[in-house]
Structure 1
Amino acid sequence: MSLTNFLEAKNLKVGYGGRPVLDSFSVALAHNEVLCLIGHNGAGKSTLLKALFGLVPLNGGTILLEGQTIDRPDPRGMNAAGIALVPEGRGVFPGLTVAEIMRLGFWANGIPAGEQSARLDWVMSVLPMIKKFYQQRAGTLSGGQQQMVSLGRALLSQPRCLLLDEPSIGLAPKLFQDLVGPIRALQQERKMSILIVEQNVREALKISDRVIVMKSGELIREGTPEAFSNNTELMELY
């Protein structure tokens, strides 16, 4: 295995209730790479992210982090290793204010009290719009604002790797651009690795270094964004 890979899955077998979703699936995410994962609904994209983060158990296969095998991946361990997941559907608590959600993020990430203010200032420098609705309840925010909160909470840990599960859901194209622009800038500044699952192919390709296409739990195509930009056959998957 090349040491350029940050996160790698080999021959993963994952399923629900005895029904396989991924069968002998392999993928690698390099250091300092934005890898875009696209495919139809039910292709297994979200299941892959959950398996990589330890939210669903493996029925077989291996996950490696910087060349080291992770025997039983779990969210706390993966988070401690520098990996953060931004789940599909944003996952914010509608009854809590943004400030309260961030305090929960401090606790979940084990960030010492003495570091919390500086960490929050850093997140606000990446996503300054959050300042405008910091005291509002999440349930009163727009979809784009909620997505910023979800991303901001994930960034509190200053991760080395982001797993983004369909961040554009429910967002107008302009709002998605406002979100992914800072993500790409941050990635380039900090040399982060990002695996982004996305249905908004056109916008996702703009920030990606490499693209893989899934269909029915299998990797069916791989290449640079340029290779897919005018691919009519690819667009028919949607």
Structure 2
Amino acid sequence: MPDTLIEVRALHAGYKGHAVIEDINLSLGANEVLCLIGHNGAGKSTLLKCMFGLLPKMQGEVRLGGGLTLNEVALVPEGKGVFPSLTVRENFDLGLDAAKIQAAERGARIDWVLKVLPQIREFLHRRAGTLSGGQAQMVSIGRALLKRPRVLIMDEPSIGLAPKLFQDLLGPIRALQQAEGLTILLVEQNVREALKVSDRVAVMKQGRIVWRGTPSELNNDRLMELY
């Protein structure tokens, strides 16, 4: 049984006193990819913000286990998540600043990310605002990886991407996860592609988790019932 790195218990959270998510129970284990799916407005992003400490909870708790700290958790936000007026390298420098990486280690961190996502080399010195949607999403993920996190949370990385581009993006991330024991929470609406790289699945609907299981258990009929 893998260590539980993040455990959510009876969590309620929302905005201005109004609960958006209610009674959420969810665990994220070491060395796994958990896919969280649901329609827009289901409460997925609210749950992520609360797990990441960006939104106060109304009730319940979020526990970190296995010696995990929030500094070892990286979030890839919904949308492009880059500074368009800066070059890709300058975006990376900001990521290194935020992670408080020492100057002597910065070159090695960037080299490591470029091995994981080698296509970034082609546009490392271009302004991020000139990149395609797929390139910008790659930079956003690369910047999150600079801190060498134990847990990577990705919020809707397929937004604005063609299915083939999304496949090309997920491939190296899954390979990295398997090679280094990275734990990933993948929040997605592109269910078909997300399930291909996931170990477990949770389905959210109207602020609650309504189903948990494995990708093989979530056939089309079951998915239609849940949605």
Q: Which residue of 2 aligns with 1:128?
A: 118
Picking from 153, 160, 167, the partner of 1:163 is 153
Amino acid in structure 1 at the alignment position of 2:19 = P
Aligned to 2:8: 9
Which residue of structure 2 lines up, in the alignment, with residue 151 of structure 1? 141
CA RMSD of aligned residues (A): 1.6
Is structure 2 residue 56 aligned with structure 1 residue 57? yes
Q: Which residue of 2 aligns with 1:232?
A: 221
- 2:186 aligned partner: 196
Q: Distance in 2 between matches of 1:155 and 1:227?
A: 31
Alignment of 1:94-133 (within 5 A): 94-133=84-123
What SS is found at the alignment partner of 1:164? strand
Identity within the alignment, %: 60
1:60, distance to aligned residue in structure 2 (A) = 1.6
Q: Which whole-Å deviations, capped at 9, do the CAs of 1:143-182 have from their partners, x for residues lacking one?
A: 0000000000000000000000000000011100111001
Please give the secondary structure, in 2, of the residue aligned with 1:47.
Answer: helix
Find the aligned partners of 1:32 and 1:173 in 2 and give their Cα distance.
Answer: 26
Q: Distance in 2 between matches of 1:151 and 1:232?
A: 33
Shift of 1:235: 3.9
> In the TM superposition, what is the alpha-carbon distance from 1:67 to its structure 2 partner?
6.1
Q: Secondary structure at the match of 2:82?
A: coil
Relative to structure 1, is the Cα distance of residues 145 and 3 closer, same or farther in structure 2, using a 3 angstrom cutoff?
closer
Q: Quote the offset at 1:233 in angstroms.
A: 4.4
> 1:14-33 alignment to 2 at 5 Å?
14-33=13-32
Stretches of 4+ aligned residues off by more than 6 angstroms: none
Query: What corresponds to 2:209 in structure 1?
Result: 219
User: 3-state DSSP class of the match of 1:157?
Assistant: coil
Q: What is the deviation of 1:84?
A: 0.3
1:140 maps to which residue? 130
Q: Normalized against structure 1, the TM-score is what?
A: 0.91
Q: How many equivalent residue pairs?
A: 227
Distance in structure 1 (CA, Å) of the matches to 2:192 and 2:2:
31
Q: Secondary structure at the match of 1:8?
A: strand
